[in-house]
Amino acid sequence: MFEAVESPYLVPFDGSFRVATSLTGPTQEPDKKRAEKALRKRIKRMRSLQDMLYAQNEWSVLLVFQAMDAAGKDGTIKAVMSGINPAGCQVHSFKKPSENELDHDFLWRTSIRLPERGRIGIFNRSYYEEVLVVRVHPEILAAQRLPFQPTNGTIWDERLESIADHELHLARNGMVVLKFWLNVSRDEQKERFLARIKEPEKNWKFHAADVAERGHWDEYMNAYEEALNSTSRSWAPWYAIPADHKPYMRAAVADIIDRSLESLGLAYPTVSEQERSELAAWGKTLERGES
């Protein structure tokens, strides 16, 4: 199975991660130009690795992005995956479940959108919403029509266990699961909300409900802490990426994806001697104009 690549932002596998001590910004004054240069370098390497991933057709890759509002999920996905061949990449955003989705278990709607072998799938939000927003707003459970009355204290443990089992199953079947929590500070989120109000070209991004959710900040941080501690594993790691400086954040995400792909030992398929002979024969046929 895949093994997580090292990073200062790798969430430990022993349950010791603490939101209160996790970084929301780089430890040194960030250099925007240097971060953008590093991002371009990683994208170039990822383009080549993705080509081999597609040709080899053995591994698949799932990138999960979770964050508070205005942390930069959409922009990070756009920036980091800008050089990737769209034929081998699929992006899915998960918002309020449909009636059809509510008629299935909570993992169903994401399971049917998992990437095939050779492809990269991106989840902009994911099944983790079930232990984040639903945990903060447990009244949402009523719409899920469960045949029993869920116990508020145990249902989250059960769902986290289901998620961990689900990701282990995926890993055992050749899927690389990389999960990124874009860790934006409360102050930076406020500044980004204000920018959405003040700058006309950003007005469309503003939603009053997002501001209301700030009142549940501590509850969300507790939910994230438990989710990351319960499901960060060597085969399905979480990375808590500082998100207050967007160029730095994007370069950090690209670095982890790039090194993870490189660790797979990807290569183009080789052909046998007989196949080489057949290729040569077809080449001669084409050169003679016989076909």
The pLDDT of residue 291: 61
Cα–Cα distance measured from residue 62 to residue 122, given in angstroms and rounded to the nearest whole number: 6
**Tokens 């998960």 appear where?**
94
> Which domains does the chain carry?
19-287 (3.40.50.300)
- Both tokens assigned to 13: 């596998």
User: Nearest CA to 209 among 137, 145, 139?
Assistant: 137
**Residue 196: half-sphere exposure toward Cβ, Cα within 13 Å:** 17
Contact yes or no for 217/136 (Cβ under 8 A): no
| DSSP for residue 92 | E
Cα–Cα distance measured from residue 65 to residue 280, given in angstroms and rounded to the nearest whole number: 47
The pLDDT of residue 152: 65
Cα–Cα distance measured from residue 17 to residue 68, given in angstroms and rounded to the nearest whole number: 18
pLDDT means per 10 residues in the chain (291 residues)?
Answer: 97 98 91 94 96 97 98 96 91 94 96 98 98 95 86 87 98 98 98 95 92 96 98 98 97 98 96 88 86 61
- Both tokens assigned to 3: 């093994």
The pLDDT of residue 149: 75
